[in-house]
Amino acid sequence: MKPFRFAHLVLLMALSTAALAQSDAQKSFDQMKTLAGSWEGPVTVDPPQPDMSTDNPINVSMRVTSRGNAVVHEMQESGTPLDPTRYDHPVTMFFVDDGRLILTHYCDAGSRPRMTGKVSPDGKTVEFEFLDVSGGTKYGHMHHAVFTIIDANHHTEDWTYIMPGEKPMHAHMD
């Protein structure tokens, strides 16, 4: 009888650990859902890129979709037409999968990096760490992202892109 009790205890501990991880992922995802809406603000890039203007603000659209199971994030330079053959228009999807908050970034560079996210203890920041990438990385890939909620009408986004030669480029959107 004792081996059965021990096995039962181990099973209960494993299930409670999985439930805790899932609730952390869901908490992080719920925080991302609060950003649903249309946002516009300045962007800075470090190091500056000669072919990348920071004169125009960036428009960000975030919407909850699929009956609350996904969040769509779209970026576009303000004042540019929706023409993916001439202008950048990356799309990022957020969703919970297997107890983890996953970000998949459909990049204009042709790569599709995935990252896992966790909310900070104060609930104001969701940070995403690189998991893997599919598609070509010849032109680089997105590697890290941080979303910080300032208040109901203000958030920042920090994105780190790894350029060819493993050189990081940081973009800050406010």
The structural domains of the chain, ordered by start, are: 2-173 (2.40.128.20)
Q: What is the pLDDT of residues 109-130, one digit of tens each?
A: 889 999 999 999 999 999 999 9
- 2 pLDDT band, cuts 50/70/90, is low
Q: What is the pLDDT of residues 16-32, one digit of tens each?
A: 444 444 478 999 999 99
Which of 138, 74, 79, 70 has the alpha carbon at shortest distance from 106?
74
Distance of alpha carbon 33 from alpha carbon 69, whole angstroms: 10
Distance of alpha carbon 119 from alpha carbon 121, whole angstroms: 7
Q: What is the pLDDT of residues 34-50, one digit of tens each?
A: 999 999 999 999 988 77
Q: What is the pLDDT of residues 136-159, one digit of tens each?
A: 889 999 999 999 999 989 999 999
pLDDT of residue 76: 86
| CB 52 within 8 Å of CB 171 | no
Q: What is the pLDDT of residues 48-90, one digit of tens each?
A: 877 666 678 999 999 999 999 999 999 988 877 677 676 678 9
